[in-house]
Amino acid sequence: MTGTNNTILEPKGSDFVIQRLQNRLFKDLDWEDIQMFGRASKIPYPEEKTRFSPQVCKSNGEYIDPLLSDSNNGNVFFVLGDRATTTEGFLYKIECKIIFMLNLKKVYSTYVGRADEKAHEDVVSVLKGQQNIAITSIGTGLKECLGEFDTENIKFTDVHPNHIFCITGQLSYSVTC
């Protein structure tokens, strides 16, 4: 993959596992000009506490909106559920969505036809051998992938060549004290 892999320094807990998955996707997917991010935070709008915007940390510590713009071919970021469960007190599981917002025509420039299923297949192929994520579903569309965020002003539509999909699974990580 070419583009930018925005990693953080000294990740811990879920961020450590997310960064490993992020690095694997960036290394193994053969996509051009993609922005790869780690975990998105759910930031409430100042005027309302019920609507949230996704914000991700770039490599330099700056937070930005990870939603796709025309400046690159795709954005990838992670969204975690609000509650992690544990039975041992140091091994945790939490729902994790990996959001992919892509311009398929640019990502798969030589592929004939709509490449949405090819993108799904490529991602699952990279993730299926990873120990810390158990895939439970693939979802498509703004509501399915970004339902916890305010999407009212998003101009991105899931119509060729654009495609938004998410891989959902249980992320396993440990907390050391």
pTM of the predicted structure, to 2 decimals: 0.93
Q: State the pLDDT at residue 112.
A: 86
Cα–Cα distance measured from residue 116 to residue 119, given in angstroms and rounded to the nearest whole number: 5
First to last CA, the chain: 35
Q: State the pLDDT at residue 106.
A: 93
Q: State the pLDDT at residue 155.
A: 73
- Beta-carbon contacts of residue 138 (< 8 Å; ≥ 6 apart): 120, 124, 165, 166, 167, 168
Q: Structural domain tally of the chain? A: 1
Q: State the pLDDT at residue 46.
A: 73
- What range defines the domain where residue 84 resides? 3-174
**What CATH number should be reported for the domain holding residue 125?**
3.30.2000
**Tens-digit pLDDT profile for the chain (177 aa)?**
789 999 999 999 999 999 999 999 999 999 999 999 999 998 887 777 677 889 998 766 788 888 867 788 999 999 999 999 998 888 999 999 999 999 999 999 998 877 999 999 999 999 998 999 999 999 999 889 998 888 777 777 778 889 999 999 999 999 876
